[in-house]
């Protein structure tokens, strides 16, 4: 009897939620039981020590602290929240190591990764970090991403037969206007860097589409 009552409750609740809009009842019931649709992982990370390397040599991000913020958010999500890797190197270590390069002594991604003790490098190159475009205020961050094995130098993802990078585009909710107050601009840039770090991590695990923390209020 307990199971019948539970099933009846779910059915009635679904009917209440969708009755006014005329939506399909079966679809609503499935949503209630299974939850919202999920975006699958783009790549499953190997169980090895990882490091996140946001390589902003072109200074696309307006401040270096946003590089750190983005990399730390990705690292925290992979290591502590989702527990997708057994260990992770502090991303500031690989940033410091890469800063030692000179025009005469450039290092490969795998070499830099080995120097900090990582087995794999989650490598991301910022291509765009803007708050405004022709559509209005639409904070946007674009990253080219790949995963590299530090021992062999092989690109683990995308695969060898695919493009060299996976392009990740992150957009926050559009706003009608942008107040050019330095504090407001900085706050919005920090939000964009944080969400970009989250979205970078989400390439490697299944997640809900359009999570609420990606929205920025008007």
**What H or E segment, with its residue span, contains residue 146?**
strand 136-149
pLDDT score, position 177: 66
pLDDT score, position 218: 36
Name residue 166's beta-bridge partners: 145
Asked if the 39-214 domain carries CATH number 3.40.50.300, the reply is no
pLDDT reading at 216 higher than 50: no
pLDDT reading at 86 higher than 50: yes
| Distance from C-alpha of 100 to C-alpha of 109, rounded to nearest angstrom | 13
Q: Rounded to the nearest 5°, which phi and psi values hold at 140?
A: -135, 135
pLDDT tens digits, one per residue of 87-120: 999 999 999 999 888 777 889 999 999 999 999 9
Q: Which band of pLDDT confidence, cut at 50, 70 and 90, is reported for residue 212?
A: very low
Q: Name the residue ranges covered by the structural domains of the chain.
A: 2-35, 39-214
Residues 6+ away with beta carbon under 8 Å from 145: 122, 123, 124, 125, 165, 166, 167, 168, 200, 203
pLDDT score, position 180: 67
Highest mean pLDDT among 27-41, 116-130, 132-146: 116-130
The DSSP line for 29-96 is HHHHHH-S-EEPPS-PPPSS-EEEEE--TT--SSSHHHHHHHHHHHHHIIIIIS--SS-B--HHHHHH
pLDDT reading at 167 higher than 80: yes
Question: Which residue's entry shows tokens 């602290």?
Answer: 65
Q: Rounded to the nearest 5°, which phi and psi values hold at 148?
A: -120, 135
Cβ atoms of 157 and 123 within 8 Å: the answer is no
| Long-range contacts formed by 97-106: CB under 8 A, 24+ apart | 98/53, 98/55
pLDDT tens digits, one per residue of 44-70: 999 999 999 999 999 999 999 999 999
pLDDT reading at 23 higher than 60: no
pLDDT reading at 206 higher than 80: yes
pLDDT tens digits, one per residue of 175-197: 766 666 777 889 999 999 999 99
């Amino acid at each position: 009897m307990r199971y019948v009552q539970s099933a009846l409750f779910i059915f009635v609740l679904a009917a209440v939620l969708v009755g006014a809009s005329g939506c399909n009842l079966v679809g609503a019931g499935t949503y209630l039981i299974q939850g919202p649709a999920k975006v699958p992982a783009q790549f499953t990370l190997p169980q090895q020590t990882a490091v996140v390397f946001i390589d902003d040599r072109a200074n696309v991000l307006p401040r270096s602290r946003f590089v750190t913020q983005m990399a730390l958010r990705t690292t925290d999500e992979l290591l502590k929240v989702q527990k997708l890797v057994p260990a992770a190197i502090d991303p500031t270590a690989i940033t410091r190591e890469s800063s030692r390069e000179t025009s005469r002594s450039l290092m490969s991604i795998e070499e830099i990764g080995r120097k900090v003790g990582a087995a794999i490098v989650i490598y991301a190159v910022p291509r765009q970090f803007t708050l405004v475009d022709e559509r209005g205020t639409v904070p946007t961050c674009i990253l080219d991403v790949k995963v590299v094995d530090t021992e062999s130098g092989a690109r683990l993802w995308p695969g060898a037969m695919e493009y060299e990078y996976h392009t990740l585009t992150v957009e926050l909710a559009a706003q009608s206007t942008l107040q050019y107050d330095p504090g407001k601009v900085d706050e919005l840039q920090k939000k964009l860097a944080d969400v970009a770090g989250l979205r970078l991590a989400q390439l490697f695990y299944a997640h809900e589409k359009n999570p609420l923390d990606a929205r920025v209020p008007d």
